[in-house]
């Protein structure tokens, strides 16, 4: 079963407007972390924002905020005041607490391609 679901293959937004990229996740583990990464056409994966399962408040990083709804298992990324440079692929990812200790791998969604129009 897919653990991370991004239902929007592509999204369009006008410059200076806000946009929400959807992400839902599936886990039975109480301890997990949710991440959003941006991948421009150059290919590098840029870390944007993190939300922990126990965090009481929604994470914010500059123009990025995460709308975390734990009961619905959703972690949508909100980008405010879109800029042309925001055009890229956006990936939602989840990391669970390893039962064996040590690092646990990230599981990625299929991504959403965001296009910001001038």
Partner 1 sequence: GAVVSQHPSWVICKSGTSVKIECRSLDFQATTMFWYRQFPKQSLMLMATSNEGSKATYEQGVEKDKFLINHASLTLSTLTVTSAHPEDSSFYICSADSGTEYQETQYFGPGTRLLVL
- The binding site for partner 1 (CB under 8 A) comprises 31-33, 35, 37, 42-47, 50, 52, 91, 95-98, 101-106, 108-111
Q: Which lies closer to partner 1 via its Cβ, residue 43 or residue 118? A: 43
* Three-class HEC string of 41-89: CCCCCEEEEEEECCCCCCCEECCEEEEEECCCCEEEEEECCCCHHHCEE
Minimum Å gap between C-beta 39 and partner 1 is 9
Using the minimum distance from each CB to partner 1, give the nearer residue, 11 or 14: 11
Residue 60 Cβ vs partner 1, minimum distance, rounded to whole Å: 16
CB of 95 to partner 1, least distance (A): 5
Identify whether the C-beta of residue 88 lies closer than 8 Å to the C-beta of residue 34.
no
Distance CA 111, CA 4 (A): 10
CB of 73 to partner 1, least distance (A): 16
How far is 106 from 34, CA to CA, in rounded Å?
Answer: 9
Nearer to partner 1, 15 or 29 (CB): 29
Residue 41 or 85 having the CB closest to partner 1: 41
DSSP state of 24: E
């Amino acid at each position: 079963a897919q653990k991370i679901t991004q239902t929007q293959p592509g999204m369009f937004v006008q410059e200076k407007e806000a946009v929400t990229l959807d992400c839902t996740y599936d886990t039975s583990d109480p301890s997990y972390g949710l991440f959003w990464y941006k991948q421009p056409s150059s290919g590098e994966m840029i870390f944007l924002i993190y939300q922990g399962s126990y965090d009481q408040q929604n994470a914010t990083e500059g123009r990025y905020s995460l709308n975390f709804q734990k009961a619905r298992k959703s972690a949508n990324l909100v980008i405010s005041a879109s800029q042309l440079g925001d055009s890229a692929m956006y990936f939602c990812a989840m990391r669970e607490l390893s039962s064996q200790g040590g690092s646990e791998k990230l599981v990625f969604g299929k991504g959403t391609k965001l296009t910001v129009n001038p």
